[in-house]
Amino acid sequence: MGDGPALARCFSTAWRAARPDAPADWLDLDETSLEAALASLLAAARATWTDVRIEPDVFIPYLAARIDTDVPLIRALSHRACADLYLACACARGDATAIATFDRTLLRDVTAALSRIDLGSTTLEDLRDRIRHRILVGEGGVLPRIAEYAGRGDLRGWVRVVAVREALGLLRKQKREERAHLELAQIDPASGDPELARIERLYHEEFQSAFREALASLSPRERNLLRQHYQQGLGIDELGVLYDIHRATAARWLARARERLASGTRQRMRERLQVERGELDNILRLIQSRLEITLRSQG
């Protein structure tokens, strides 16, 4: 779609589709004036975010769906932070360049906002990454939070407000989430294998302790990767977008985190138990078979 007269028609069509019950005369505006206003704000948005490029037939409907009818149209457009809305639109669509721009220009505001909050035992890096995920990555068919930004104020201020609200909500669940990370969920004895079931009952506490210590020894990023993959259901492609890395790199990071958790648990079990080699082999086999179940059952 070019930046010619079609901008006004694109806006009108999208606006009517988004608000079928709105007063029709609100759009009674000279098409040339609307075209000029849209072309101007589009040019300003592109000048603000020079590395970000989305087509007018994507951005103009996105803008139209977020314009209210409480003031005349041209004034409503002038009251919107359209350049910031342009970046938000690209981020909501998962555009890698836009997300990198967000990280470079706005993520520090998340850090600054969180630095004023009592985080308890949660690290700033952990919480910032979780909030970044909520803002930029949708889950289970739900759009990312940034899609809720309507341009009524600048994006920087909106990000700070969202960061604080999300942080307070997450911290209210702090104790429950930490338990979910660090405790072995109650699971049924090893199905179909009486020997593994016996070992699981016998060494439950040792496994729980070893698993907890191994998980705590991982880096914040490794713990986040495991939580995001096993509990939140993020695939390799989604992790790649979240961390702004290639999917192959995301797969390597996840595999390394999983292996470090498994090897750490195995090593701690060896150190704790004084058993015969055959018994130890069965214990280590149980660890391997139960590790993913334990990870998925957290949260």
Per-residue pLDDT of the chain (299 residues; tens, 9 = 90+): 444 468 988 988 888 887 777 676 666 667 888 899 999 999 999 999 999 999 999 999 999 988 877 777 888 888 889 999 999 999 999 999 999 999 999 988 888 888 877 777 677 888 888 889 889 987 777 789 999 999 988 999 899 888 888 887 777 766 555 554 443 333 333 444 555 556 666 767 777 788 788 888 999 889 888 888 877 777 887 788 778 788 889 899 999 998 888 888 878 877 777 666 666 666 666 666 666 555 655 54
Do residues 298 and 180 lie in contact, with contact meaning Cβ atoms separated by under 8 Å? yes
Backbone angles phi, psi at 154, to 5 degrees: -70, 150
Please list, in sequence order, all residues whose beta carbon lies within 8 angstroms of the beta carbon of residue 34, skipping any fewer than 6 positions away: 7, 8, 11, 12, 73, 74
Query: Furthest-apart CA pair in the chain: how many Å?
Result: 87
First vs last C-alpha separation in the chain? 46
Long-range contacts of 277-282 (CB under 8 A, 24+ apart): 279/199, 282/195, 282/196, 282/199
pTM here is: 0.58
